[in-house]
Amino acid sequence: MTNLLNKKRPPAFCAGCAHDRVILALDQAFGDQGLAGEDIAMVSDIGCSGLFDTFFNTHAFHGLHGRALTYGTGIKMAQPELNVVVTMGDGGLGIGGAHVLSTCRRNIDVTLLVLNNFNYGMTGGQCSVTTPMDAQVSSGFLNRLEPPMDICMVAAAAGAPYVARCSAYQKDLALQIQKALTYKGFSLIDIWGVCPGRYTKRNPLTPGQIKERMGELPAADGLVTQNQRMEYGSHYRKVASGLEQAPDAVCVERSFDPVFEDRREVLLLGSAGQRIVTAGEILCLAGMTGGMHATQKNDYPITVLRGHSVSEVVFDKEGVGYTGLDNPCVVIALAPEGVNRRKSKFAEFDKDTVIIRAAGIELPDCRARVITVDFKAHKIKKTDWALAALAVLARENIVITIDMLEKALTCRFKGDVLAAALKLVHTNFKILQKRQN
């Protein structure tokens, strides 16, 4: 049997500490499985349990308080063949509670040994999440206010497929650890022991009493039947192997001469559901077919199905510098929500600005030239107004042409969606000739 104990660094716990027994049992479990040091990563938390990694000749990772399971998860996902063992006290259990619950639910093939001695030993014996209410600890009366947590019940409820409660003093501890180690999935052992340095001075506790108190709790002896399922890493790799690679970024070739040489800005004002953001992107693509650089800034509330939707598009042949709007040459106004969102800007629009307005949308006073389009009269669905407005814009030849717009649609859409978009744009280019000022 191999022995992985680090002879240069023998355990240095207080005389009578239960941790010594767990170290010996863990080493025996490693040996019984025939594991070599390089097959194992010991990941330790903070406190006395945080010393565990130093007593073994294995890979070792000692990190922050409560976070050991997160490092162990990263290691296991990167090195699936490795046996990852995490040691943590009842302190780490409390501070790292979210990670404990998530690891149970995730079911990654890591073994967690909770070295449960009912208090924070290293900092002077304060209460932890497992301290009994009647214990005398250095947290004054505080532990009398909060009942101890049964980690086995919590872990099983959170989805852990393997949960066992052991005493550091039981004869078959090594076997119990070995069973947890060989389980393919997340396994947790809640190992009860004494802390002679801080806890048992004021709270006498014998191995017999530990056994007795454990007996008063619901049994936790390994497999949790209802939580049996595929291990996370294996499942992840299985699903991932069937995924298709993401496509490269679409490249738009310059196909047309631009209709302008300077910087141009377009402001699209609409409401949620009007596909304003998509129209902004298509507008960018259309300009790019003329070799123009473009930026698109969007503004919408976090409640994406309600409220304003605003898109700001800037073109510049040399590349867009400032991405804010200074003086838009075109404003597309399709909903009061969007108009209200930028209402203070209207006074700044000059007579060279063109506003393409959906019929019925009220605009603040401004000097801009207004083109009103009655989308409803043309039986255009509200979700298509933004795209139809781009066709109107193309007709004006200020920023893009109809050829650019059609080319942009072929870059963005495929199949039926493309055919419908092209039809919409083409029809509207022809019929939306009626101009009202």
Partner 1 sequence: MGLSIMEGNEAIARAAIHAGCRFFAGYPITPATTIYQNMLRFLPPLGGICLQGEDEIASIGFCLGAAMSGQKAMTATSGPGISLYSENISFAIGSEIPLVIVNVQRLGPSTGSATRGADGDVQFMQWGNSGGMPVIVLAPVDVRDCYELTVWAFNLAERYRCPVFLAANKEIAMTRESIDLAKVKLPDLESRRYCDENKPFAPFEIEQGRKAPDFLPIGGSRLVRQTSSTHGEDGYITVDTETIARTQARLLEKLTSTVDDFTFFEADLQKNAKTLILAYGVTSRAAKHAVKVLRQRGQAVSLLILKTLWPVPQRLLKEQLACVDRVVVVEMNLGQYVREIERLCENTQVVFIGQMNGELISPQQIMEVV
Q: Tell me the CA end-to-end span of the chain in Å, nearest whole number.
A: 93
Q: Which of residues 106-135 bind partner 1 (CB under 8 A)?
A: none
Q: Which of residues 209-238 bind partner 1 (CB under 8 A)?
A: 236
Helix, strand, or coil (residue 183): coil
Nearer CB in complex with partner 1: 322/359 = 322
DSSP tag of 374: -
Neighbouring residues of 111: CB distance < 8 A, sequence distance ≥ 6: 83, 84, 85, 86, 177, 180, 181, 183, 186, 187, 188, 189
Select the residue interacting with partner 1 from 21, 59, 165, 342 (CB under 8 A): 59
Select the residue interacting with partner 1 from 35, 60, 153, 398 (CB under 8 A): 60
Strands (DSSP E) found in 59-139: 59-62, 83-89, 110-116
Is 77 an interacting residue with respect to partner 1 (CB under 8 A)? yes
Distance set, CA 66 to CA 11, 320, 335 (Å)? 22, 47, 51
From the CB of 110, what's the least distance to partner 1, in Å?
10
Nearer CB in complex with partner 1: 315/385 = 315
Select the residue interacting with partner 1 from 201, 229, 297, 306 (CB under 8 A): 297
Residue (of 224, 214, 145, 212) closest to 187 by Cα position: 224
From the CB of 326, what's the least distance to partner 1, in Å?
7
Among 144-152, 318-326, 347-355, 359-367, the segment contacting partner 1 (CB under 8 A): 318-326
Distance set, CA 313 to CA 259, 263, 328, 355 (Å)? 16, 11, 9, 15
From the CB of 213, what's the least distance to partner 1, in Å?
31
Tell me how many residues contact partner 1 (CB under 8 A).
Answer: 67
- In whole angstroms, give the CA distance from residue 330 to residue 313: 10
Select the residue interacting with partner 1 from 53, 337, 384, 406 (CB under 8 A): 53
At residue 219, what is the residue type? A
Binding site for partner 1 (CB under 8 A): 9, 37-38, 41, 43, 53-54, 57-64, 67, 70-79, 81-82, 98-99, 101-102, 236, 239-240, 243-246, 249-254, 280-281, 284-285, 288, 291-299, 302, 319-324, 326
